Amino acid sequence: MIDVRTKATPRLSRTSPPRRRYGYDTRFWGETAKAATERQSYWSATRRPIPCLAFVGPLLLIYELGVLWLGGSSAEALRTGADGWMRHVLARLGVTDQWFLPLSLVLVLVAWQVVQRQDWRFPLSTPVGMVLESLVLGVALVGLSRLVDVGFSALEHSRGHVLALSPVSARLIGFVGAGVYEEALFRLILIPLLFALLRVLQTPAVLASTAAMTVSALLFSLAHHAGTPGEAFTWFAFIFRWLAGVYFAWVFMARGFGIAVGTHTAYDMLVGWLGWHL
């Protein structure tokens, strides 16, 4: 009888790669090589800070240069509400440089990208898709405003959007500025702050996010009626802007800061420039 003994195949010894700061086999920007080679979908790319910056940056530059060019020595009179409020607070703190606020927004998005440790690259088609998506969401908000108008038609005859007589170029610059800075203030800054505060108070995450979105939308609506240049209060305008604030907050949470800015800007232009009056 022949005794056949099988020998176990020796396991190949694998030497573990050295541990890096951001994990194994990382690239210089902090993302693993495997993740870097995987193509991210459009839906995930638009939520990252750098594609948002590539989309919002030109709008921000157009607004700032437009204010300086059209306003001249009275440039502050052309600044939108959220922009003016934040600059007023900065001035009280001794910061009066006109480029401090836009540069701060750029640095916040860059810092956000660094903290996330994701790939800095994105397809050039992403900003184009963001423009188209913003237009679609802006049209949807116009439809929502018409539904609110139907509900209030028996109570009020005033419209929610009364345009001041001003040059077309100044109005366009104002629409761009409102889209950038109102979203930066009420969505990019306020929603995370409210959410963090509620979480410190041990509020459940779902309730905290819902409350943060709702309260930021309420403050967004009230801000349009505050101060000397504030709009005259009507229930139609107040309720619609509250719903619009919730809409923008939902877009911000689900689709990212860039799409929220694009949607806000697209809606303002559709209603205020192209004449889609309610």
Q: Report the chain's C-alpha Rg in angstroms.
A: 24
Arithmetic mean of pLDDT, 149-174: 62
pTM for the predicted model, two decimal places = 0.80
Fill in the amino acid letter for 101. L
* pLDDT recorded at residue 159: 46
Task: For residue range 216-247, list pLDDT tens digits in order.
Answer: 999 999 998 876 666 778 888 888 999 999 99
What would the DSSP string read from start to end of 134-188? Answer: HHHHHHHHHHHHHHHHHHHTTT----S-------HHHHHHHHHHHHHHHHIIIII
**Cα–Cα distance for residue pair 187/81, rounded to 1 Å:** 15
pLDDT tens profile 129-148: 999 999 999 999 998 888 87
Tell me the angle at which helices 168-183 and 257-272 cross, rounded to the nearest 10 degrees.
Answer: 150
Mean residue pLDDT across the chain: 81
| 46 has pLDDT over 50 | yes
Residue extents of the structural domains in the chain: 42-272
What is the average pLDDT across 90-107?
93
The answer, yes or no, to whether residue 162 has pLDDT greater than 50, is no
Q: Is the pLDDT of residue 21 over 50?
A: no
Question: For 198, how many CA atoms within 13 A lie in the half-sphere containing its CB?
Answer: 19
Judged against a pLDDT cut of 80, whether residue 37 lies above it is answered with no
